[in-house]
Amino acid sequence: MRIRVINPNTTESMTATIAEAARAVAAPGTEISAATSGSGAVSIEGHYDEAMSIVGLVDAINADPDADAYVIACFGDPGLLAAREIARGPVLGIAEAAMHAASFLATGFSIVTTLERTRIIAEHLVRNYGMEHHCRRVRATDIPVLELDQPGSNARALILSECERAVAEDKAGAIVLGCAGMADLNAYLEMELGVPVIDGVAAAVKFAEALVGMGLKTSKRGDLAYPLHKPYKGSLADYAPPRRGNGGTV
């Protein structure tokens, strides 16, 4: 099977980290097709960045319409439901996948993310995904996303300290890493902390393999049916949904 793993920010080096994490867990028969968004912000750290990332995400899905599944490799899960509308195969966001994985492994987890503003966005996701009973706390480290990519930065040490506080103060039984740029840190952190540390890229790839393996696809009934055909104006004219038969359910 082929899983299209999309980095919705435009930083290629981050895609390399994401692709490595995806390939490290992929089953022998799984091809990981990693893509970097061709338009938008170099890092996604707020609602505006997220909104602006969705056209690039749609482009990356449309460039590979026959992939068996898609992974949105950004912890805000930007454009997740829009992506599910246009894709036939399953679409997984790394935040949703990581929270579900953590809930299977511990009765309570904490999320350790980047900036304070991102922490607030992650709290919204916890509520949207019905994870309030599982998530003990969302913690920020005040590390900008692109600093995770800098060789000499002290990001690793700061993240470890925050994870240690989560285990000690929140009594978190597992840690969810709150950024795709942390995808290479889970093994190191798990060794230091002694609790499961979940990288959402790996979790999403494995859930995608499971869903595809069960022959399951995105529901095309109701709100995840293909978008309704209508004209779009201005710079988004080319994104007008095409006409489809059967009320958008096939």
Residue 77 CB, shortest distance to ligand 2AL, in Å, is 9
Residue (46 or 108) nearer to ligand 2AL, CB: 46
Residue (125 or 195) nearer to ligand 2AL, CB: 125
Does the footprint of ligand 2AL cover residue 15 (CB under 6 A)?
no
For residues 40 to 79, the per-residue mask of contacts with ligand 2AL, x marking binding by CB under 6 A and - elsewhere, is ---xxx----------------------------xxx---
Site for ligand 2AL, residues 119 to 178, rule: CB under 6 A: 145, 178
Does the footprint of ligand 2AL cover residue 118 (CB under 6 A)?
yes
Residue 114 CB, shortest distance to ligand 2AL, in Å, is 4
* Options 58, 60, 101, 179; binder of ligand 2AL; rule CB under 6 A: 179
Q: What letters, b where the CB count within 10 A reaches 16 and e where it falls short, cover 132-170?
A: eebbbbbbbbebbbbbbbeeeeebbeebbebbeebbeeb
Residue 178 CB, shortest distance to ligand 2AL, in Å, is 5
Does the footprint of ligand 2AL cover residue 180 (CB under 6 A)?
yes
Kind and range of the H or E element at 71?
strand 69-72
Q: What is the dihedral of CA 69, 29, 196, 161, to 10 degrees?
A: -80
User: Which residue's structure tokens are 């039984």?
Assistant: 173
Kind and range of the H or E element at 175?
strand 174-178
Residue (25 or 146) nearer to ligand 2AL, CB: 146
Binding residues for ligand 2AL, total number by CB under 6 A: 15
One-letter amino acid for residue 49 of the chain = D
- CA–CA separation, 64 and 33 (whole Å): 9
3-state secondary structure of 170: coil
